[in-house]
Amino acid sequence: MIDTGKTAESEVLSFLALCDLRGVGFETLKRVARERLDFSAFFTSELTSEIHKKITVDPSFAKLREHFESTQAQNSGLDAARYKLDYLQRRHINVIFPHDAAFPTRLNDLRDTPPWLFVEGNRDVFERSAITAVGSRKVSAEGRWLATYFGFCLEDIDVVTVSGLAEGIDQIVHRASLSARLPTIAVLGTGILSDYPKGSQDLRQRIVDGGGAVVTEYLPNDTFSAKNFVRRNRIQAALGQVVLPIEWSEKSGTAHTVRFASEIDRPLAFLRAPSQPPLDWVPREFLGNSDKFTLPREHENFMQYLRSKINEQPAQKLLI
């Protein structure tokens, strides 16, 4: 058997080779990472007794190993991975792991830190001041107005925005950032090569061209599912220093982002237009580190709140 070693490139190649195995999915590879196994361990004969035991005892890991028992199978898998890596690099897509310098430090606040990220575009954007703004896909006139109003505030506070590329509030936020000539980050609930939502490719390219990034933890060709979108919301919550829920309800996708933000003590700014009902319905559990604003009536307080929160020192990792 060949030995790919433990270099950064060999880990990426080994990971991509495992991604392409039929019947091997996100959860299996996530468990490999959680067991602190190198992906290259499935391509090398030099295994310590501890690693060998982990691989052989777990049936899923043993099946992974079986795919690459022969030198020919290893060479074939890694050659295919090199083609995949070349394609990703031509698309300016990088694979980064938690120990890499480019990995977003704010994600370390999560208990369930992503085991890897696929990032299309500018990796440096993650360390800039950022605000997460999310909301309904079926946006009302008031919700559209609030998202647009927030967009007009961006140049004054000079921040990156984080949202989910979905139709409605998310896309309004992304476009507002681009109009303000500021980077924006789109967090996907699908794989980096998935065309979802349909019709968003032009906006994705504009985000990348504008110095922003498209990011996901899912495997390159993973399609959408309700579970995946719920789980991706924790990444949206963590990447921002403040979270703005714009037009949402207690039973919605945005509510998951609000809950994740609350769990890691991210400040929440709840917004309403004068014509909307008061925000008394917001669950008490989300009010600990939050404030409410009626816009434009409380514009100055809103802007002061945002500036104060993005200038605070980053919190230590929370064990929730």
Full strand arrangement of the beta sheet holding 93-96: 93-96, 117-121, 213-216, 184-187, 160-163, 130-135, 242-246, 268-272, 290-294
SS3 call for 277: coil
**Judgement on whether residues 149 and 264 belong to the same structural domain of the protein:** yes
**Residue among 171, 170, 167, 133 nearest 153 (CA):** 133
Token couple for 232? 């991706």
Q: Is residue 114 one of the residues assigned to a domain?
A: yes
**Judgement on whether residues 86 and 114 belong to the same structural domain of the protein:** no
Please report, for the domain that includes residue 149, its CATH number: 3.40.50.450
**Judgement on whether residues 178 and 53 belong to the same structural domain of the protein:** no
Round to whole Å and give the CA distance between 283 and 310: 24
Round to whole Å and give the CA distance between 280 and 278: 6
**Judgement on whether residues 22 and 130 belong to the same structural domain of the protein:** no
Question: How confident is the model over 1-57, as pLDDT tens digits?
Answer: 233 344 788 999 999 999 999 888 999 999 999 999 999 988 887 777 788 888 888
**Judgement on whether residues 79 and 109 belong to the same structural domain of the protein:** no
Q: Is residue 288 one of the residues assigned to a domain?
A: yes
Domain count of the chain?
A: 2
**Judgement on whether residues 188 and 299 belong to the same structural domain of the protein:** yes
**Residue among 252, 292, 300 nearest 272 (CA):** 292
Q: Give the domain range for residue 186.
A: 105-310
Q: Is residue 263 one of the residues assigned to a domain?
A: yes
Q: Is the pLDDT of residue 198 over 50?
A: yes
- 62 falls in which pLDDT band (50, 70, 90)? confident
Q: Is residue 3 one of the residues assigned to a domain?
A: no
Q: Is residue 21 one of the residues assigned to a domain?
A: yes
**DSSP per-residue codes, 96-147:** E-TTSTTS-GGGGGSTT--S-EEEEE-GGGGGS-EEEEEE-SS--HHHHHHH
**Judgement on whether residues 161 and 303 belong to the same structural domain of the protein:** yes
Distances (CA, A) of 200 to 99, 100, 117, 160, 186: 31, 29, 20, 20, 11
**Judgement on whether residues 21 and 133 belong to the same structural domain of the protein:** no
pLDDT attached to residue 313? 53
pLDDT attached to residue 51? 82
**Judgement on whether residues 59 and 117 belong to the same structural domain of the protein:** no
**Judgement on whether residues 26 and 162 belong to the same structural domain of the protein:** no
Q: Is the pLDDT of residue 119 over 70?
A: yes
Distances (CA, A) of 254 to 63, 137, 198, 250: 38, 10, 20, 8
**Judgement on whether residues 138 and 86 belong to the same structural domain of the protein:** no
**Judgement on whether residues 119 and 199 belong to the same structural domain of the protein:** yes
Q: Is the pLDDT of residue 315 over 70?
A: no
Question: How confident is the model over 265-312, as pLDDT tens digits?
Answer: 999 999 999 999 999 999 999 998 899 999 999 999 999 999 999 998
Q: What is the identity of the amino acid at 192?
A: I
Q: Is the pLDDT of residue 317 over 50?
A: no
